[in-house]
Structure 1
């Protein structure tokens, strides 16, 4: 049996990666808000069957209004209510993600491709911010490892870099110098 170098990871690095991937999953967890989606929003994206979480939380889910109106997305502004106020300007129609670099298989995926990539599962996350606030939020998505497995990283791959859209016409916060845009 042959094992690729990319499949052998020292334990201390593996443990750090797991922590990073869990945190990253929260960032990619925007699909989680679909659990609460209104009928109108639910009609925009048809989700495949969702695997119900085996883990249950005794904590009360945060109010929907709090979840959608108290956010840190500096692309829309530094105020907590700025994302709720300005996100409607963002056109996500036709969005794609491209994965390239130190991978055996460069791919470009749209939302339909992403939703077919792996079974969707439900999770409940408690988000705790360094600013002192927290929320308990339902999330629907898949493990980031499923996406990584699909592209087959080479033995030279050490990091995952994300580059986001930074369009000041759709994202008024991008004009703010609080960060270098686009941030990676």
Structure 2
């Protein structure tokens, strides 16, 4: 198999701020801001993932990436917040659990299967998939169904590139993502139908915004953010973006997905960000933006998370309250 190598980085490695300096600066900035409002002790109690060096993010290599037209200019969520406040239920249901426990996950070697309605089933190493196309840096708004949001610089390439390489048959209408379920390295809480499963309609998967993702903030994905390979779909709620993927399965039927199977009244298959459709237990009209501000603030939720121009046409004529 012929693979194209990533292009060289635009910034020399000698000019890149070291990871330790970056983290130390952000922790110092956080503490300074906290002291200004007299709540350091409360912050230390309420936000231990930010302050506890034992659970700071651990990622592998710096990535070589190029800039992308698919990006937002909104203020980014600081690295230490994006990597210490996560949903990754394989490692626990608390937001700090992934940063605490995901370090046990061994991401090399890592094998990915391509199955189902394809010209030829494939088994690939993740590094072959990583090097298939040059990586782009895309700063995306990300919205959680729990009404909080972040702005994260992801590194990857359009999933459509990989799908074309997989050569799905014309009869394939959906692609399903299956995550790892390593019982020795993951906690896998009782009561969930592991492995984690998600899926997209083929036109959604082929939309150029859908990102096959290998890194964030210019480095390899930290384990708690879905290492070594995940998908990011910025106009959908975050749980649609399967993490630590081990299989891409192409099918002509809508695939089973973990949350839609467990609670179909709360988590629809499409799960497009829609402020007009409330979760049964809370409103989706506003979101709590997690950014560099010390105090939380809320902003109105945008239809399709602000990506209507790029994706709304895929749902023309659909009842988006019924097909939530």
Normalized per residue, the structure richer in helix is: 1
If each structure's strand is expressed as a fraction of its own residues, which one has the higher value? 2
Q: CA RMSD in A?
A: 2.4
1:56, CA displacement in angstroms?
A: 5.1
Residue pair 1:127, 1:134 contacting (<8 A) in 2 also: yes
- Measure, in 2, the Cα distance between the counterparts of 1:183 and 1:100: 17
What do the CA deviations read for 1:1-36 (whole angstroms, capped 9, x no partner)? xxxxxxxxxxxxxxxxxxxxxxxxxxxxxxxxxxx9
Equivalent position to 2:175, from 160, 163, 171 = 160
Alignment equivalent of 1:51, drawn from 66, 69, 81: 66
> d(CA) in 1 for partners of 2:62 and 2:124?
17
Q: 2:190 aligns with which of 176, 179, 183?
A: 176
The SS at the match of 1:69 is coil
Cα deviations across residues 92-118 of structure 1 (Å, max 9, x unaligned)?
Answer: 121110102211132222122012211
CA displacement 1:147-179 (0-9 Å, x = unmatched): 11001111221221222221232111x1321x2
| Partner residue in 1 for 2:37 | none
The unaligned stretches of length 5 or more in structure 2 are 1-16, 21-57, 198-324
Partner of 1:85: 100
Gaps of 5+ in 1: 1-35
Match of 1:86, SS? helix
Does the CA contact (< 8 Å) of 1:77 and 1:176 recur in 2?
A: no
Which of these two proteins has the greater Rg computed from alpha carbons? 2
Change (3 A) 1:119 1:105: farther
Q: Following the alignment from structure 2 to structure 1, what is the Cα–Cα distance between the partners of residues 127 and 119?
A: 22
Is this contact kept in 1: 2:117–2:168, CA < 8 A? yes
Q: Secondary structure at the match of 2:83?
A: helix
Report the CA distance shift for 1:90/1:102 in structure 2 as closer, same or farther (over 3 A): same
Matches of 2:169 and 2:71, distance apart in 1: 37
**In 2, Cα distance between equivalents of 1:37 and 1:97:** 32
> Could you give the per-residue CA deviations for residues 74-107 of structure 1, whole angstroms, max 9, x where no partner exists?
0000000000000001111211101022111322
Give SS of 2:73's match. Answer: coil
Aligned equivalents of 1:125 and 1:150: distance in 2?
25
Taking structure 2 as the reference length, the TM-score comes to: 0.41
- Greater RCO (Cα-Cα under 8 Å, separation 6 or more): 1
Residue 99 (1) aligns with residue 114 (2): yes
| 1:64 maps to 2:83 | no
Q: How many residues align?
A: 145
Contact 1:125 1:137 in 2 (8 A): yes
Helix, strand or coil at the partner of 1:100: strand
Name the residue aligned to 1:137. Answer: 152
